[in-house]
Amino acid sequence: MATLWFCLVAFMLAMYVVLDGFDIGVGAIAPLVAKSEEERELLVRAIGPVWDGNEVWLLAAGGTLYFAFPALYAASFSGFYLPLMMVLWMLIGRGTSIELRHHVDHGVWRRFWDGIFFVASLLLAVFYGAALGNVVRGVPLDANGRFFLPMWSDLTLGPPSGVLDWYTVVVGVAALAALGLHGALWLVLKLEGPVEERARRLAGRLFWAVVATTALVTVASFSVQSQILRNLEARPLGYFFPLLAVLGLVGILLGLRQRQALRAFLASCLYLGGMLTSVAFGVFPYVLPARPDAQLGLTAPGVAAPEHGLWIGLAWWIPGMLLAAGYFTYAYRNFAGKVRAEGYEG
């Protein structure tokens, strides 16, 4: 039961990264693809009706993590206190920038919010990557299953460790490249004209950055977290997950070459999904590995809620998710096709 919920929470988090990932990516590359106020307006329109629903996956995944693995929620949220507070402020800034920029028709007002949108999105991409890096590297858990990390120490893996070290920063940069590419591919899909062209060219360049950072992160992760190699040796079927990521990369390249925007974007989803499931597979049964004492790591069965409640959860989770799938199909159908300069609401 714990393993099942581990998969379900991983699925929800992957959905969050794939969906909110593209609108965060759009924000992170905004200054590179949009050069005028009208073009920046287009960017916001390209994510306008769906970004909020995408972000809900974070809350839904967080809530699910909370009831299925309360001890993990407690340990990770309190241990990553400082970066999470900053993530919250970023989310506040980003949400207000998207929602409030339209309310006043004034160049300076809009420019200000476009700036907040860019900075908050960029930092969120890096922070999310660094968070993932922290989970792979492991954290200094004590015997109570708790830890507290400062933002940084000396940028080595520690001890003493910090949230930011060379490894997590590398993962953060890789995440920025990956989400930037994801966002660019979304813009290619949703827009036309000069912004689409710029996004396409940027995607072409970011693609190689993603290939390079993926290779770098892969090598680094094997050296940082020995569990990954052990898992792959024990269950060679696990190579399936990194294979998904590689297939995704190939798909992106083909999609870009053949000007198949939708295919390229879906391949990017596959890449992100493949990377995340590789991580989940690589550290399992740990959900939060420990370092330096690997024995103290938190495992899925060790932090899971009692069995009975997990069954109850399944009873509402399945219908709830079917409903959510319905809303999302409806919302994205409503938003199908290219966003045009005169606005979709006309």
Partner 1 sequence: MEDALVVHRLQFAFTVTYHYLFPQLTMGLALLLFLMKTRALQTGDPRYHQAARFWAKIFGINFAMGVVTGIPMEFQFGTNWADFSQSVGAVIGHTLAMEGVFSFFLESAFLGLFLWGEKRLSPRAHWATALAVFVGSWASGYLIVATNAWMQHPVGQYIDAAGKIGLGSFWGLLLNPWALWQYAHTMSASVVTASFVMAAVGAFYLLAGRQTDHGRLFVRWGVIAGLIASLLQIFPTGDQQGRMVAVHQPPTLAAMEGLFQTVEGAPLALIGQPDVEKRQLDNPILVPRALSFLTYQHWKARVQGLDAFPPDFWPDNIPLLYFAYHIMVGLGTLFLALMAVAAWKLRRGKLYSSRPLLWLLMLALPFPYVANTAGWMTAEVGRQPWLVYGLIRTHEGASKLVSAGSGWFSLLGFLGIYTVLSMLFLFLVYEQIAAGPEGSAHGAAPAAA
Site for partner 1 in 14-43 (CB under 8 A): 41
Say which residues have a Cβ less than 8 Å from residue 148's Cβ, sequence separation at least 6: 78, 79, 81
| From 4, 31, 88, 292, residue interacting with partner 1 (rule: CB under 8 A) | 88
Residues 311-340 that bind partner 1 (CB under 8 A): 312-313, 315-317, 320-321, 323-324, 327-328, 330-331, 334
Of 145-153, 163-171, 215-223, 274-282, the segment contacting partner 1 by CB under 8 A is 145-153
Q: Cα dist. 14→11, 254, 270, 279, 281 in Å?
A: 5, 23, 10, 11, 13
Query: Facing residues of 299 across strands?
Result: 286
| From 7, 32, 56, 247, residue interacting with partner 1 (rule: CB under 8 A) | 56
Q: In which residue are the tokens 């609108």 written?
A: 23
| φ, ψ at 152 (rounded to 5°) | -155, 160
| From 96, 153, 218, 227, residue interacting with partner 1 (rule: CB under 8 A) | 96
Contact 17, 272 (CB under 8 A): yes
| From 76, 168, 231, 278, residue interacting with partner 1 (rule: CB under 8 A) | 76
Q: Is 219 in the site for partner 1 (CB under 8 A)?
A: no
Q: Is 177 in the site for partner 1 (CB under 8 A)?
A: no
| From 15, 60, 256, 296, residue interacting with partner 1 (rule: CB under 8 A) | 60
| Type and span of the H or E element at 92 | helix 81-100
Nearer to partner 1 among residue 100 and residue 119 (C-beta): 100
Q: Is 4 in the site for partner 1 (CB under 8 A)?
A: no
Q: Is 115 in the site for partner 1 (CB under 8 A)?
A: no
DSSP character string of 119-171? HHHHHHHHHHHHHHHHHHH-B---TTS-----SBSSSSS-SSP-SB-HHHHHH
CB of 324 to partner 1, least distance (A): 4
Distance CA 296, CA 71 (A): 13
Distance of CA 334 to the CA centre of its chain: 24
Of 73-81, 126-134, 169-177, 213-221, the segment contacting partner 1 by CB under 8 A is 73-81
| From 21, 25, 27, 79, residue interacting with partner 1 (rule: CB under 8 A) | 79
Give Rg (Cα) of the chain.
Answer: 20
Q: Is 345 in the site for partner 1 (CB under 8 A)?
A: yes
Binding characters for partner 1, 277-316, by CB under 8 A (x = yes): ----------------------------xx-xx--xx-xx
Nearer to partner 1 among residue 42 and residue 179 (C-beta): 42
Contact 30, 114 (CB under 8 A): yes
Q: Is 77 in the site for partner 1 (CB under 8 A)?
A: yes
- How is residue 16 written in tokens? 């969050």
Contact 252, 202 (CB under 8 A): no
Distance CA 80, CA 132 (A): 12
Nearer to partner 1 among residue 77 and residue 239 (C-beta): 77
* Residue 45, CA atoms < 13 Å, CB-side half-sphere: 22
| From 31, 36, 37, 59, residue interacting with partner 1 (rule: CB under 8 A) | 59
**Could you give the angle at which helices 81-100 and 70-79 cross, rounded to 10 degrees?**
90
Distance CA 165, CA 171 (A): 10
Q: Is 71 in the site for partner 1 (CB under 8 A)?
A: yes
Nearer to partner 1 among residue 215 and residue 312 (C-beta): 312
CB of 300 to partner 1, least distance (A): 14
Q: Is 215 in the site for partner 1 (CB under 8 A)?
A: no
Contact 172, 130 (CB under 8 A): yes
| From 7, 82, 155, 253, residue interacting with partner 1 (rule: CB under 8 A) | 82
Q: Is 104 in the site for partner 1 (CB under 8 A)?
A: yes
